[in-house]
Amino acid sequence: MRIRRIYGLVLRYYYYFYHALDRMMDSFYWPIIDLLLFGLTSLSLIKSQGVASPLLSNVIGGVVLWIMIWRGQYEISINFLEELWRHNLINLFAAPINFEEWTVAVVITGITKALASFLWTGLISFFIFKISVFKIGPVLWLYCFLLIMTGWVVGFLVTSLILRFGTKIQTFAWAGPVIISPFSAVYYPLSILPYWAQAVSKFIPSSYVFESIRQTIAGKGVNKEYVLMSFFLNIIYLFLSYMVMKKSFKSALNRGLMQIY
């Protein structure tokens, strides 16, 4: 891999982001709408009960940190779709750019955009609801890293499907993260899920992170067992999902990249 080519790809995606209103809204507008909807609903429930509750902190923390998963997968799957929509996929890989360089470029792009959206939403949550996710402490960045790893797994798998079946299943680029969100227990504890759903959650890395986050917010510290379990699952899934994506790309090359459109 050549750093210069990776830098060129990253720069290209940033120029597109700068000039695309829809990308700006995805990064900064829609997270604020989610924050307001979930936050105000939680605040209304707390006031109707008339008692102090950690519900608002848990929900706001979930909204802000879910961004890491969303942006992690979004930059992989949507940037790939962007090349298809603009009929630029053949041009891209006809240039001296290999698939590994493209993957590194979209991962780097995803990290920076995720951090920008995360910091923006975290700042707004403090000004509107007086809740700061940064009070969690330095472990917050460990949680962010684990969650964005889960996002990469989803992004690799969605891209693999698009490589195999074409743009007719492109909806998974938006639906992919949503599929795992109920099992991730983003806004509620795992204990309220049905037994079968709890069993599924054991195989979802993000579920361990959000459970540990709630414990941290409650003042119980970091659940090291959950953190290690999430990291272990993420590493396994990242390796497998990347191998699947790379194999799908090679298969697409053998069939002809035009077949993906």
Alpha-carbon dihedral sign for residues 108, 110, 115, 116: positive
Give residue 225's domain range.
3-260
Instruction: Output the pLDDT for position 252.
Output: 81
Instruction: Output the pLDDT for position 145.
Output: 96
Closest by Cα among 102, 110, 118 to 163: 102
The total number of structural domains in the chain stands at 1
Instruction: Output the pLDDT for position 53.
Output: 67
Instruction: Output the pLDDT for position 259.
Output: 62
Instruction: Output the pLDDT for position 257.
Output: 64
Instruction: Output the pLDDT for position 56.
Output: 84
Closest by Cα among 200, 152, 194, 198 to 176: 152
Structure tokens at 43: 């605040």
Place of tokens 């999902």: 241
Instruction: Please give the angle made by the CA atoms of 66, 68 and 69, to the nearest 5 degrees.
Output: 70
Grouped pLDDT means (10 residues each) for the chain, 261 residues: 88 84 83 90 80 78 92 90 83 83 93 92 91 89 96 95 86 88 91 93 96 89 94 97 92 72 60
Instruction: Output the pLDDT for position 260.
Output: 66
Instruction: Output the pLDDT for position 70.
Output: 92
Instruction: Output the pLDDT for position 228.
Output: 96
